[in-house]
Amino acid sequence: MHFPDSVKNIIKQLEAAGFEAYAVGGCVRDSLLSFTPPDYDIATSAAPDEIKEVFSDCKIVDIGAKHGTIAVITDDENCRKIEITTFRADGEYSDSRRPDSVTFVRDLKSDLARRDFTVNAMAYSEKTGLIDLFGGAEDLKNKLLKCVGEPEKRFSEDALRIMRALRFMSEHGFTCEAETEKALRKLKENLLKIAPERIMAELDKLLLGEFAEKIIIEYVDVLGVFIPEIKDCAGFDQRNNYHIYDVLTHIAKVVSAVPKERILRVAALFHDVAKPQCFILKDNLGHTRGHAAKSAEIAEETMRKLRYDNAAIKQVKLLIQNHDDKFKTDDVSVKKLLNRFGIETLEQLCILQKADDSAKADFVKEERKEQYLFIEKASEIIEKGECFSLEQLAVNGNDLLKSGFEGKEIGIQLQKLLEAVITGEAENKKEILLKRIG
């Protein structure tokens, strides 16, 4: 197993001071999988004060003395911040969220025993090699996600582990061991007791996972605890030849078809979630008019509950509201689109629409090919420096003020001029535009 020198050195320094120290958790799991871990955690028998003492010559940050975590800042470009945590044992859990007490202990075993899944409960140091008390390496080889200890007890202690299970399955393609699976489904409602922002963080990681499609479909009952509307999408037949999948399968496929970017993946998750409630049958054909607006509403409401930031909510809403629009591809229409959305949003809309169509009947992709030309047109317009926004207009508010306009009228006139420039009625030149209003 390969660990960076900075990690090995920290372990050695703690050992030299008479303590035990190991790389633990996610970084051991990832290293065994031959991935480069996003960060490295070290667990030690040293108490927080003792850790500080050992690293008194280094730059350290106390990131939670209560939990016994101290970060050492290194000059290793690949892992600037290494978190060192004192071995802990969690006390009783009475609220499905957090332990009533945390005690620092001197033995590694208790620290590993409190960890959620066997694959996350291994330790490593150069001195000892891999320490695997719960069969994590074997489970990792078999891609099996299994609780450390008794699953019902572990999920009752901390219901967030239910979402963490889904997230690890989505990230790594693990399957869930039978007892672990039974327990997480049984206790899923306890997720409602968990701080929403913690659910959001796990949901984001789930959505960005390689296996998101599979997990969304298989664990819709769990997601349904905090997105009730998504449960109705499971098995919902759209009764329309544009669609070959039920709504949930379609949603899951679109999530996996967009790039691994948070906004796009969240937008994909919610983009059709209101279809079941908008569904009507006309001449034996399914229609879901208004589903884009309604899905955007559900996205907003759910994202607010989960404490997503306002910018994310606004962008996801915008993408969903317009995901089903057919954009024209002539010059004037594309300039108006650029003016309305800006190039970044337009690109995201194009990606979402393509992904959406990729999860429909084959003929749809063929039929819509032309429709996506709007994005190439938009790039051409930008490249040529053609005007589509007020900022690019050759006159501004001051010019109009000088020409005798006041207050609201300035904005109205500027809009009119922009419209004339976009439609090609007027050239974007100051004297021409001033003459037009003069």
Interface positions with Mg ion (CB under 5 A): 26
Residue 160 contact among ligand ATP, Mg ion, none, beta carbon within 5 to 8 Å by kind: ligand ATP
Task: Give the DSSP letter of residue 63.
Answer: E
Neighbours of 338 (CB within 10 A): 23
| Minimum distance, C-beta of residue 382 to Mg ion, in the bound complex (Å) | 40
The amino acid at residue 158 is D
User: With respect to ligand ATP, which residue has the nearer C-beta, 159 or 346?
Assistant: 159
Residue 169 contact among Mg ion, ligand ATP, none, beta carbon within 5 to 8 Å by kind: none
Task: Give the DSSP letter of residue 67.
Answer: G
Closest CA relative to residue 117, chosen from 102, 98, 138, 97: 138
| Minimum distance, C-beta of residue 11 to ligand ATP, in the bound complex (Å) | 17
Q: Please list the residues that pair with 62 across neighbouring strands.
A: 70
User: With respect to ligand ATP, which residue has the nearer C-beta, 168 or 327?
Assistant: 168
Distance CA 317, CA 300 (A): 6
Residue 353 contact among ligand ATP, Mg ion, none, beta carbon within 5 to 8 Å by kind: none
Residue 306 contact among ligand ATP, Mg ion, none, beta carbon within 5 to 8 Å by kind: none
Please report, as ranges, the residues that interact with ligand ATP according to CB under 6 A: 25-26, 38, 41, 115-116, 120-121, 158, 160-161
| Minimum distance, C-beta of residue 41 to ligand ATP, in the bound complex (Å) | 6
Residue 198 contact among Mg ion, ligand ATP, none, beta carbon within 5 to 8 Å by kind: none
Distance CA 167, CA 329 (A): 40
Instruction: Specify whether the CB–CB gap between 61 and 53 falls below 8 A.
Output: no
User: With respect to ligand ATP, which residue has the nearer C-beta, 98 or 365?
Assistant: 98
| Minimum distance, C-beta of residue 259 to ligand ATP, in the bound complex (Å) | 19
Token pair, residue 325, equals 């629009």
| Minimum distance, C-beta of residue 26 to ligand ATP, in the bound complex (Å) | 2
Distance CA 311, CA 308 (A): 8
User: With respect to ligand ATP, which residue has the nearer C-beta, 188 or 377?
Assistant: 188
Buried residues in 382-401 as b, exposed as e (16+ CB within 10 A): eeeebbbeeeebbbeeebbe
Phi, psi (5° rounding) for residue 308? -65, 155
Instruction: Specify whether the CB–CB gap between 86 and 104 falls below 8 A.
Output: yes
User: With respect to ligand ATP, which residue has the nearer C-beta, 177 or 357?
Assistant: 177
| Minimum distance, C-beta of residue 252 to ligand ATP, in the bound complex (Å) | 22
User: With respect to ligand ATP, which residue has the nearer C-beta, 38 or 404?
Assistant: 38
